[in-house]
Amino acid sequence: MKIYHNPKCSKSRQTLALIQEKGKEVKIIEYLKTPLTFEDLELILVKLGVSPIQLVRTKEEIWITNYKGKEMTDDDIITALVDNPKIMERPIVVKASKAVIGRPPENVLKLFS
Q: What is the residue extent of each domain of the chain?
A: 2-112
Distance CA 99, CA 110 (A): 9
Residue 83 annotated to the active site:
no
Q: Is 105 helix (H, G, I), strand (E, B) or coil?
A: helix
113 — pLDDT class (breaks 50, 70, 90): confident
Burial grade of 93 (CB within 10 A; 0-12, 13-18, 19 or more)? buried
Angle between the N-to-C axes of helices 38-48 and 74-83, in degrees from 0 to 180, rounded to the nearest 10 = 120
- Catalytic pick among 1, 9, 32, 72: 9
Q: What is the pLDDT of residues 62-100, one digit of tens each?
A: 999 999 999 999 999 999 999 999 999 999 999 999 999
Looking at domain 2-112, its CATH architecture is 3-Layer(aba) Sandwich (3.40)
Amino acid at 84: N
Q: Is 78 exposed, middle or buried (0-12, 13-18, 19+ CB in 10 A)?
A: buried
Indicate whether this model's pTM tops 0.85.
yes
